[in-house]
Amino acid sequence: MNQLPFDKPGRFYRGNLHTHSTRSDGKLSPAEVIAAYRDHGYDFLAITDHFLESYHFPIVDTREFRTSTFTTLLGAELHAPRIELGVNWHILAVGLPLDFAPTGEAETGPTLARRAADAGAFVGIAHPAWYGLTLADALSLDAAHAVEIFNQTCATYNDRGDSWYMEDMLLAQGHRLLAYAADDAHFSTRADYRAAWIQVRSESLDPDALLAAIKAGHFYSSQGPEIRDVRLDGERVQVTCSPAQSIFVAGRASAARYETGPGIARCEFPIGSFAGSYCRVTVVDAAGRRAWTNPIWLD
Ligand SMILES: [Zn+2]
């Protein structure tokens, strides 16, 4: 049984997992941040301010903004010493309890991530390409559920939005990490919001149900295109999506296939060349916007 969301019960809910507010270095208050998403087609949002002493270790309580059609997950971006290049870790944690204890003096990135996961959070390796995270760093973060494979803020300000290289390296070595895209919105001088999100398949908008679906990998990521179905029939992977320019499937090392053509919305690929490892699907529309599935394990 694979973790693809498309044949799971329920519907897709659109949300952003990585967002900042005035509780750390964002420019909008939590209420303004919520409105910027809730009033523009999003079903849920996690405000994940920097969990630092200088900001009084914020875990923003957004429960008051929950309605029957919009919900929030509680989280933070965690920091502790120290990656191989000598700077502090950036670790996304969504689904934290409000009483999650401040970072201890002796805590490191890996021990802090473990404590967050043990407290129930979905743990993401935030924007590895942005700060030169190494494969050894990522392997040391053994509590992580996922790699942040695209970060809009890192794309906007640093041209380092794409971190698929890290996910592919981990997958090629047999590590089963999920892949998510996020805005990391700060609402400062340039547009860094409503640009990269996940679509989570869930039976309801209940925060616990959403969090469980995210941890189970029942989602895909997008900058615009819709992935409507991906299915395996044993020999082929079939992809159905909104009209696109190209559809790619990629796997271990250089294994890859593609189809291209204006308005392509369906294609299938033989999976023989990916057997024993994994594959993943990318859809690119005419404007260059992408959507990505989670990895699909084939062994
Ligand atoms: Zn951030």
Instruction: Express each pLDDT in 144-169 by its tens digit.
Output: 999 999 999 999 999 999 999 999 99
DSSP code per residue over 80-110 = -S--TTSS---EEEES--TTPPPPPTT--HH
d(CA 99, CA 271): 46
Q: Tell the CATH topology of 227-297.
A: Immunoglobulin-like (2.60.40)
Q: Which CATH number fits domain 11-220: 3.20.20.370, 2.60.40.3140, 3.20.20.140, 3.90.1150.10?
A: 3.20.20.140
Contact between 297 and 278 under an 8 Å Cβ cutoff? The reply is: yes
Instruction: Express each pLDDT in 205-254 by its tens digit.
Output: 999 999 999 999 999 999 999 999 999 988 999 999 999 999 999 999 99
Contact between 31 and 38 under an 8 Å Cβ cutoff? The reply is: no
Q: How far is the CA of 45 from the centre of ligand 1 (A)?
A: 14
Closest CA to 100 of 57, 45, 53, 143: 57
Instruction: Express each pLDDT in 101-135 by its tens digit.
Output: 999 999 999 999 999 999 999 999 999 999 999 99
Q: How far is the CA of 127 from the centre of ligand 1 (A)?
A: 8
Q: How far is the CA of 216 from the centre of ligand 1 (A)?
A: 23
Q: The pTM is what?
A: 0.97
- pLDDT at residue 116 in the model: 98
* Bridge partner residues of 241 (DSSP): 227
Q: How far is the CA of 178 from the centre of ligand 1 (A)?
A: 18
- Residues with CB under 5 Å of ion ligand 1 are 77, 184
Burial class (CB in 10 A: 0-12, 13-18, 19+), 111: middle
Q: How far is the CA of 158 from the centre of ligand 1 (A)?
A: 14
d(CA 57, CA 77): 10
Q: How far is the CA of 66 from the centre of ligand 1 (A)?
A: 22
Q: Where are the domains of the chain?
A: 11-220, 227-297
Q: How far is the CA of 90 from the centre of ligand 1 (A)?
A: 8
Q: How many other C-beta atoms are found inside a 10 Å radius of the C-beta of residue 55?
A: 15
Q: Side-chain half-sphere of 16: how many Cα atoms within 13 Å?
A: 29
The token duo for 251 is: 């796997």
